């Protein structure tokens, strides 16, 4: 945009151009900073809360570098599980996510959402839906879960597509009645895909007692600085330290009660 | 660059017609005087309708949004600017996206880079409206923004993508925000989207003439860069017939592109080669002497005025004022 005055003798127009450029760089920098603030803010604040479609790149930063927010995955999902985030949703605007309590992922064998993704934000290397990692279910409220109250609801366990792998019912004594058992729904993070069918099915009236959370939120980091004696023993085939002196246990006669392999008490009947 | 008006003092006396289409309508009828505008609006409507037949009627023609899409489940498209941002953010993208971006670049090289702006972009409908309103309200003052500001914005957008490691512009891009809102029917959940889009419109009405699309939008700038090689171009081929009515300058969203072609001397091409030209064809509509026509960029022919009339000796007006 040359101004009429500027076209004169070269000198002024050159200066005008230089200050113009400086101004433009300045404004662009301010604009860039603002944009960066918004982008970085959305990525960090919202990343931790959203459940992504199967195959979504695990690192949220990688995902946001790849996802064009096109919604092709959303369109491909036959169960209308996926949604593009609006401003108020838990994912950065326009990115796909799902709310397990509303519509969980049905774990389609052909994973149409991944196939539809044109960018690789959903990793096309995922061909076995049971290897998906959308999150991890956590029995988050142990005070309202009916099984934890000693009832036999079992619904979350029954609906799990990976029943007995991703979720088991672990039995322990009901100390309230003294004669019954509590069948605790126990999720095994290695197998759980985070599909959310358990969360959806939980019979509690509003919020579920079992919820799928993003893996980073759900899990602690494993205690790698600890050696687990029983693991070491298993690997080694026998105890690492031999010939320890086994002193007799006072007042305890192992004839009556035997340990079962899983550690439960054999003599105990629910 | 600009031709000196023959009679600068006279410039002030020219009263631009309240309705710049008046002469054209008189010369060729309302329909022909709005032919390209109507076609453009149809095309812009199709850019929504083709995406909406799927969710509304179950007939899937286009899926996705303007960021990435798919025709009939086969042909992929990926917006070149989104593509570049993703690369800058450090993601390699899979083949589909590469093919999709290449196809779109090819398409827009053929039809004109910023043909995206005037034929597809949903924001354009709004900013055209904002411009009309601005003219109707008689608002003259405004921010003077450099036409190259959008290139700086574009550079900033790519830089932020690289820095933040994320496709940055998609967080606030009014173009895809609006399209996504409309196509995915989340119209009432995205208040931010509407605030942004409302902001753009208000900015164009009150703050700067053609402020957004003409000066700032980095998406338009990116398509403009593709347009450097556009095959389809408008030519002021019958420029000798021009009677300086100025209607074309008045309606052109990027009026600076007209001058070199229309006022070019002997031996200078009548083709509008500027990458800023959106190929909207409004100048073709509005010219009552049929100076302009679509052609390809290598067609440097000029044609003699169709009818015998001499160029009217209206006083020359100053070059397009912004
Ligand atoms: S696996 Fe199936 S149900 Fe789950 S998100 Fe993908 S398409 Fe939807
Ligand atoms: S299909 Fe891929 S790029 Fe498109 S919204 Fe889904 S994850 Fe993002
Ligand atoms: S989320 Fe629940 S239902 Fe799905 S795999 Fe994990 S435990 Fe099973
Ligand atoms: S300049 Fe930007 S907002 Fe305007 S029409 Fe072009 S792409 Fe759309």
B107 pLDDT band (50/70/90 cuts)? very high
Is B169 near chain A, with CB under 8 Å? yes
Which ligand neighbours the alpha carbon of B94 most closely? Answer: 2
pLDDT (tens digit, 9 = 90+) per residue, B179-193?
A: 888 888 765 555 677
Pairwise CB contact (< 8 Å): A86 & B189? yes
Taking the C-alpha atoms of residue B285 and residue A41, their distance in angstroms, rounded to an integer, is 47
What does the pLDDT read at residue B186?
A: 63
B101 touches chain A (CB under 8 A): no
| CA A29 to each of CA A196, B52, B155, B213: distance values in angstroms, whole numbers, following the listed order | 43, 38, 10, 20
Which among B83, B94, B153 has CB closest to A28? B153
SS3 of B293, please?
A: strand
Please give the model's pTM, rounded to 2 decimal places. 0.81
Name the minimum distance, in Å, from the CA of B78 to any CA of chain A: 8
Quick one: which of B317, B201, B302 has its CA closest to B248? B317
A168, β-bridge pairs:
A186
Higher pLDDT, B257 or A240: B257
Nearest in space to A40 (alpha carbons), one of B165, B219, B88: B165
Locate the DSSP E strands across B72-207: 75-78
The DSSP 8-state label assigned to residue A198 in this structure reads H
Top-ranked range on mean pLDDT: pick from A2-11, A41-50, B49-58: B49-58
Mean confidence (pLDDT) of chain A: 84
Would you call B1 helix, strand, or coil by DSSP?
Answer: coil
Residue with the bigger pLDDT between A170 and B265: it is A170
User: Ligand 4: which residue has its CA nearest to atom 4?
Assistant: B213
Q: Would the CB of A213 count as within 6 Å of ligand 1?
A: no
Report domain extents, chain A: 29-131, 135-219
pLDDT of residue A43: 67
Q: Of B189, B284, B205, which Cα lies nearest the Cα of B238?
A: B284
Compare CB distances from A24 to B97, B144, B148 and report the shortest one's residue.
Answer: B148
Per-residue pLDDT, B184: 85
Q: If phi over 0 gives left and psi between -120 and 50 gives alpha, with beta otherwise, what is residue B23?
A: alpha
Residue B322: which pLDDT band, with cuts at 50, 70 and 90? very low
pLDDT tens digits, one per residue of A152-191: 999 999 999 999 999 999 999 999 888 999 999 999 999 9
* pLDDT of A64 higher than 70: yes
Q: How far apart are CA A268 and CA A270, in angstroms?
A: 7
Which of A255-264, B21-30, B61-70, B196-205 bottoms out in mean pLDDT, i.e. has the lowest? A255-264
ipTM score assigned to the predicted complex: 0.82
Inter-chain contact B166–A64, Cβ cutoff 8 Å?
A: yes
Residue B6 confidence (pLDDT): 43
The verdict on a CB contact (< 8 Å) between A70 and B69 is yes
Instruction: Tell me how far the alpha carbon of residue B220 lies from the centroid of ligand 4, in angstroms.
Output: 5
Tens digits of residue pLDDT in A48-60: 678 999 999 988 8
Do A29-131 and A135-219 fold alike per CATH? yes
How many other CB atoms are found less than 10 A from the CB of residue A159? Answer: 17
Phi and psi of B77, rounded to 5°? -130, 140
Cβ B256–A120 below 8 Å, yes or no? Answer: no
- Ligand 2 pocket mutation, candidates A50, A121, A126, criterion most atoms within 8 A of CB: A121
In this structure, which residue's CA is closest to atom 3 in ligand 3? A160
Q: What is the DSSP string of B240-275?
A: GG-----HHHHH-SSGGGHHHHHS--TTS--B---T
Interface contacts (A, B; CB < 8 Å): 165
CB atoms within 10 A of CB A261: 6
- Paired strand residues for A166: none
Q: Give the helix, strand, coil percentages of chain B, each rounded to 5.
A: 55, 5, 40
Domain assignments of chain B as residue spans, ordered by start: 61-138+157-227
A49 three-class SS: coil
Q: In ligand 2, which atom is closest to the CA atom of B68?
A: 4
Q: Does the CB atom of residue A173 touch ligand 2 within 6 A? A: no
CA-based nearest distance B101→chain A, Å: 11
Query: What is the nearest CA distance from A198 to chain B, expressed in angstroms?
Result: 28
Render the burial of A220-257: b for 16+ CB within 10 Å, e for the rest: eeeeeeeeeeeeeeeeeeeeeeeeeeeeeeeeeeeeee
The predicted pLDDT at position A1 comes to 41
Q: A135-219 domain in CATH 3.30.460?
A: no
User: What is the per-residue pLDDT for B280?
Assistant: 93
- Asked if B78 has any chain A CB less than 8 Å from its own CB, the reply is yes
Predicted local confidence at residue B46, as pLDDT: 93
Q: Which residues contact B218 (CB under 8 A, 6 or more apart)?
A: B81, B150, B153, B154, B156, B157, B169
> Residue B145 — pLDDT band, cuts 50, 70, 90?
confident
Rounded distance between C-alpha atoms, residue B219 and residue B67, angstroms: 11
Q: How far is B232 from chain A (nearest CA, A)?
A: 25
Which CATH number is correct for A29-131, 2.40.10, 1.20.120, 3.30.70, 1.10.3470? 3.30.70
């Amino acid at each position: 945009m040359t101004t009429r005055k500027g076209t004169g003798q070269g000198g002024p127009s050159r200066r005008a151009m230089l200050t113009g450029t400086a101004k433009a760089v300045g404004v662009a920098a301010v604009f860039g900073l603002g944009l960066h603030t918004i982008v970085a803010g959305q990525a960090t604040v919202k990343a931790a809360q959203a459940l992504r479609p199967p195959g979504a790149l695990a690192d949220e930063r990688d995902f946001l570098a790849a996802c064009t927010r096109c919604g092709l995955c959303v369109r491909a999902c036959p169960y209308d599980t996926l949604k593009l985030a609006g401003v108020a949703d838990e994912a950065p605007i326009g990115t796909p996510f799902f709310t397990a309590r509303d519509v969980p992922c049905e774990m389609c064998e052909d994973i149409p959402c991944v196939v539809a993704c044109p960018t690789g934000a959903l990793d096309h290397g995922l061909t076995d839906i049971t290897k998906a990692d959308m999150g991890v279910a956590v029995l988050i409220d142990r005070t309202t879960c009916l099984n934890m109250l000693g009832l036999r609801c079992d619904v979350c366990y029954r609906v799990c597509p990976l029943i007995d792998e991703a979720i088991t019912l672990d039995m322990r004594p009901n100390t309230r009645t003294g004669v019954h058992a509590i069948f605790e729904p126990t999720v095994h993070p290695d197998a759980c895909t985070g599909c959310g069918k358990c969360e959806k099915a939980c019979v509690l009236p509003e919020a579920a007692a079992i919820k799928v959370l993003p893996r980073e939120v759900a899990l602690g980091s494993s205690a790698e600085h600890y050696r687990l004696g029983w693991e070491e023993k298993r690997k080694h085939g026998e105890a690492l330290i031999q010939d320890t002196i086994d002193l007799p246990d006072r007042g305890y006669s192992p004839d009556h009660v035997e340990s079962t392999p899983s550690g439960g008490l054999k003599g105990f009947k629910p | 660059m600009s031709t000196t008006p023959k009679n600068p003092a006279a410039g002030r006396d020219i009263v631009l017609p309240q309705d710049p289409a008046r002469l054209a309508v008189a010369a060729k009828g309302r329909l022909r005087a709005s032919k390209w505008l109507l076609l453009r609006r149809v095309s812009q409507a199709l850019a929504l309708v083709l995406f909406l037949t799927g969710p509304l009627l179950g007939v899937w023609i286009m899926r996705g949004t303007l960021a990435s899409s798919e025709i009939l489940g086969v042909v992929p498209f990926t917006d070149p600017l989104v593509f570049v941002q993703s690369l800058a953010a450090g993601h390699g993208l899979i083949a589909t996206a590469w093919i999709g971006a290449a196809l779109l670049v090819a398409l827009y090289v053929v039809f004109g880079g910023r043909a995206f702006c005037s034929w597809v972009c949903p924001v354009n409908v709004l900013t055209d409206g904002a411009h009309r309103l601005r003219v109707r309200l008689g608002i003259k003052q405004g921010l003077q923004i450099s036409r190259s500001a959008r290139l700086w914005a574009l550079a900033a957008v790519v830089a932020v993508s690289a820095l933040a490691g994320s496709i940055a512009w998609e967080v606030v891009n009014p173009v895809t925000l609006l399209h996504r809102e409309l196509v995915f029917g989340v119209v009432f959940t995205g208040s931010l989207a509407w605030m942004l889009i409302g902001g753009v419109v208000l900015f164009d009405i009150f703050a700067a003439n053609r402020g957004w699309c003409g000066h700032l939008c980095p998406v338009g700038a990116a398509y403009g860069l593709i347009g450097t090689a556009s095959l389809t171009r408008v030519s002021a081929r019958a420029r000798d017939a021009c009677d300086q009515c100025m209607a074309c300058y008045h309606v052109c969203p990027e009026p600076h592109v007209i001058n070199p072609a229309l006022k070019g001397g002997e031996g200078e091409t009548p083709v509008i080669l500027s990458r800023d030209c959106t190929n909207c064809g409004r100048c073709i509509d509005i010219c009552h002497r049929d100076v302009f026509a679509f052609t390809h960029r290598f067609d440097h022919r000029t044609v003699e005025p169709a009818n015998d009339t001499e160029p009217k000796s209206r006083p020359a007006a100053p070059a397009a004022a912004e």
